[in-house]
């Protein structure tokens, strides 16, 4: 099955035990999931919680993905503390802990062949948001040399408070400001169309403004009704064809990461997810 765009599927979005195709593949085992993803003709696999796997398992999962022709997509930096104010540390002790965790993430990236770290941070209620955003930019700049030397991009992701409360970077303007203030080639923007739309912004207009700093693309659709949602691409309100064409026309050569669960539970829901995605992909190609 051929696709126009380089789609990925995840091995677990909100936790490592709930892969995207948990009903369709033979089992929840990452190797069975990878086989199913490859059989679909996808281009990559996203192991969000790769850093939690033992080193030997990281290498085995990555080797199996490579053997099936899949690229490794982004993964979460510091998965045990992703929602803590670590990127905004402003003390010597906090920055040392941050760099130690970065060493672990870069070692994971080396083992799996990953090239994109998702960087998010929780908010510290005792400090001003402006000071924390400034500190995050400074820490990303400090971390950029080590990441760049490893061939890894540190991708700042804006997350909507409707989906993840108590996070630091909750507006697209905040993410843009942090990346531009960091001013390092290894510090990039994770363009999550779902979070952008959830905040009420237009993903197409946003991409046009930010294309020069995008290091990764994630997708999820927004339902027409109430609720935060993150549903099947092609099942909601986002106008995907012009957006995806614009991303491709910009020269973006990375993966398109599916960052949602199937809207409906069960095998039928996963089959409908693939059908909707195929319709969008065909429209982009056409």
Per-residue pLDDT of the chain (286 residues; tens, 9 = 90+): 699 999 999 999 988 899 999 999 999 999 999 999 999 999 999 999 999 999 999 999 999 999 999 999 999 999 999 999 999 999 999 999 999 999 999 999 999 999 999 999 999 999 999 999 999 999 999 999 999 999 999 999 999 999 999 999 999 999 999 999 999 999 999 999 999 999 999 999 999 999 999 999 999 999 987 666 899 999 999 999 999 999 999 999 999 999 999 999 999 999 999 999 999 999 999 9
Instruction: Report DSSP state, residue 222.
Output: -
Q: How is residue 52 written in tokens?
A: 């939690």
Q: State the pLDDT at residue 227.
A: 63
Q: State the pLDDT at residue 1.
A: 67
* Residue 197 burial (CB count, 10 A): 22
Q: Are 178 and 156 in contact (CB under 8 A)?
A: yes
Q: What is the pTM of this model?
A: 0.96
Q: State the pLDDT at residue 14.
A: 86
Q: State the pLDDT at residue 229.
A: 82
Q: State the pLDDT at residue 225.
A: 76
Q: State the pLDDT at residue 189.
A: 98
Greatest CA separation for the chain: 54
Q: State the pLDDT at residue 202.
A: 96
Query: Cβ contacts of residue 91 below 8 Å, gap of 6+?
Result: none
Q: Give one DSSP letter per residue of 61-86, joined into a string.
A: HHHHHHHTTPEE--EESSTTSTTSTT
Q: State the pLDDT at residue 145.
A: 98
Q: Could you give all domains of the chain from N- to C-terminal order, each with its CATH number?
A: 7-285 (3.20.20.150)
Q: State the pLDDT at residue 98.
A: 97
Q: Are 207 and 246 in contact (CB under 8 A)?
A: yes
Q: Are 32 and 281 in contact (CB under 8 A)?
A: no
Alpha carbon distances (Å) from 166 to 26, 124, 136, 199, 253: 37, 9, 16, 15, 33
CA distance 32 to 13: 17
CA distance 284 to 286: 5
């Amino acid at each position: 099955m051929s696709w126009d765009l380089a789609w990925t599927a995840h091995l677990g979005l909100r936790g490592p035990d709930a892969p995207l195709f948990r009903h369709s593949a033979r089992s929840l085992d990452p190797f069975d999931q990878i086989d199913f993803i490859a059989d679909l003709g996808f281009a990559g696999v996203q192991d969000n919680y790769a850093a939690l796997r033992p080193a030997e398992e990281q290498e085995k999962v990555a080797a199996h993905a490579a053997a099936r022709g899949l690229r490794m997509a982004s993964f979460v930096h510091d998965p045990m503390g992703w929602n803590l104010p670590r990127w905004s540390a402003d003390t010597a002790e906090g920055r040392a802990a941050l760099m130690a965790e970065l060493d672990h993430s870069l070692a994971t990236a080396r083992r799996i062949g990953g090239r994109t770290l998702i960087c998010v941070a929780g908010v510290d209620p005792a400090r001003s948001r402006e000071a924390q955003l400034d500190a995050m930019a400074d820490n990303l700049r400090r971390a950029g040399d080590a990441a760049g030397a490893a061939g890894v991009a540190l991708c700042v992701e804006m997350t909507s408070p409707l989906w993840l409360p108590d996070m630091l970077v909750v507006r697209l303007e905040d993410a843009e400001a942090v990346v531009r203030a960091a001013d390092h080639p290894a510090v990039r923007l994770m363009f999550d169309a779902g979070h952008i739309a959830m905040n009420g912004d237009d993903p197409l207009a946003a991409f046009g403004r930010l294309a020069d700093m995008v290091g990764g693309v994630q997708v999820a659709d927004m339902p027409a009704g109430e609720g935060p949602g993150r549903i099947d691409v092609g099942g909601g309100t986002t106008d995907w064809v012009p957006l995806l064409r614009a991303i491709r026309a910009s020269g973006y050569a990375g993966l398109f990461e599916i960052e949602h669960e199937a809207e409906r539970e069960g095998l039928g829901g996963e089959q409908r997810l693939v059908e909707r995605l195929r319709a969008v992909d065909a429209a982009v190609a056409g």
